[in-house]
Structure 1
């Protein structure tokens, strides 16, 4: 495993950088890793690409009261994925996807730290993350959090106070 040594930054998603995020998703991730399912044959196609754009425009890019805060993950100036914080009853729910070519290089750990800082700046008292039992990379990042397992779902809560 080759560790990343370039700076990792979170940049707020905007209409101006949304196309860059789509490009990374299409080139380096499966649609099911980065957005809700869309009916049809697996893989990327024009319909899925449009659904990806509409998904983000309908959540993070709403002019008033966005559903979530979405950030591009940039490594040394290259967009490599996205992270989000979504307000919920238990705190801010965190979600991250990183393109296949950047996985296993320490990017997720840097993103997790920056999401904790962003959540605290937004006034959150805790972060909640939901993943599957089989997602060992995500479970490693959630190591310090209090976790519960229900079937194939792991829910982790990390207090920020």
Structure 2
């Protein structure tokens, strides 16, 4: 595993260490509990147990819902909404479903949008790629919506 993989909880990792100890005990090569914990941490890409346990989640990740995802707008579909507080109409150029209920959408604005809030200069964008939730909202790092997409009828 790599650092990008989802880590098990500390409790699940301790259970792995217990099974690892039992395996090696049965093979005639006993491990201490600490050695087993260190081995499990290394298997998950961490340098030691303390580093692993600090990074491990307290509960397992939520399972993907059993119900299907909402339909995505097709490439070429018209959309409208607000981008950086500016209303727009656009066409969808790219659609990709991502894990965690997110979608990567590439849109081409019908009219370029100024993406700078300055009286001194402008920077117009015609194409943007954004990550949006199933309800069509993209948030910036501060949690404020930057783009809201609505399918046009």
Shorter-chain TM-score: what band? under 0.3
- Tell me which structure has the larger Cα radius of gyration: 2
After TM superposition, the score normalised by the length of structure 1 is 0.22
Larger proportion of helix? 1
User: Higher relative contact order by CA 8 Å / sep ≥ 6: 1 or 2?
Assistant: 1
After TM superposition, the score normalised by the length of structure 2 is 0.22
